[in-house]
Amino acid sequence: MTNVDVHQHLWSPSLVTALRARREPPYLDGWTLHLDGEPPYDLPPADHDVALRAELAANDGLELALVSLSAPIGVEWLPAAEARPLLDAYHEGAAALPEPFGAWAAAGVRDIDAKATAAYLDQGFVGLQLPADALVDAAGYARCAPLLDLLEERDLPLFVHPGPAAGGSGGPGWWPAMVPYVQQMHAAWFAFRAYGRPRHPRLRVCFALLAGLAPLHGERFAARGGDGTPPDPSVFVETSSYGPRAVESVVRALGVGAVVQGSDRPYAEPPQHPGHGLGGAAAYAFRIANPRRLLTGKE
């Protein structure tokens, strides 16, 4: 039995160095992150100290903490010549992380290279993260099909994470996380139902931040002509940044078997009660049974 957090971020020295070598967004100036679409963001260096983060994971009782490339910084959308050094740096650093860390692979979505992604997955990554804004319509699924075919061939899962925020640089600091990120996840949830699942019938997928609460729109979906099929047993949502009210509502919509624990550390703290107030059985499902099915396809 393994306690799992499926959603954390930890920038290795190799990734930090690669971002500091750039002069156009995304880049790091010291520990200040500059992006298109978001205000400059000061990263606390301790957030990306491997030893300190390993200690935090141990204190949380985690046996596996899965890190991923921070998709909102936009690496995946860069031209291949710019994306490749950053992707190489991310995978090099993530593959070298000590226990209890594991990692999701990343891939360019502007210039698809399934062969390069296969080479990254060969290093032991648990699956592939893609930015949500690459999977919000039929064209996105057509473009990313070689990557999703690769996951099906290898029986590995997909993790859908918010991508770069559009138009958030002039608003309050919370705007990107509360508006563009949530909108992307909402769209990605319904796009998978419309375009992803028909094209990729065996794919297991996990949506970050409870899919922007899109599962709670089932009644409206039905009223507007959606089908009444039961919840997809190979689709999961993770809990980052949400608490008991939202999690309980999603459980009512999808069932307890669809929810996995994710914290988004260091940008959010794990919940004090892993079952989000739903009891020990829910905590076991969120942290052990459901992540096992997501990652392996096995009960």
pLDDT for residue 229 is more than 80: no
pLDDT for residue 277 is more than 80: no
> What pLDDT digit, counting tens, does each position of 189-225 carry?
999 999 999 999 999 999 999 999 999 998 899 889 8
pTM listed for this prediction: 0.96
pLDDT for residue 169 is more than 70: no
> What pLDDT digit, counting tens, does each position of 13-62 carry?
999 999 999 999 999 999 999 998 788 889 999 999 999 999 999 999 99
Q: List, in sequence order, the alpha helices (H) in the chain.
A: 13-20, 50-59, 80-95, 114-121, 138-154, 175-178, 180-191, 197-199, 218-223, 244-254, 280-284, 290-296
Distance of CA 48 to the CA centre of its chain: 18
Candidates 240, 274, 242, 237; CA nearest to 253 is 237
| HSE toward the beta carbon, residue 170, CA cutoff 13 A | 1
pLDDT for residue 264 is more than 80: yes
Query: Cα dist. 117→22, 79, 81, 204 in Å?
Result: 23, 15, 15, 18
| pLDDT for res 185 | 98
pLDDT band at 275; cut points 50, 70, 90? low
Kindly report the length of the chain.
Answer: 299
| pLDDT for res 168 | 59
> What pLDDT digit, counting tens, does each position of 96-152 carry?
999 999 999 999 999 999 999 999 999 999 999 999 999 999 999 999 999 999 999
Q: Please list the residues that pair with 67 across neighbouring strands.
A: 8, 103
pLDDT for residue 272 is more than 80: no
> What pLDDT digit, counting tens, does each position of 176-186 carry?
889 999 999 99
Candidates 218, 217, 207, 289; CA nearest to 242 is 207
DSSP class of residue 274 equals T
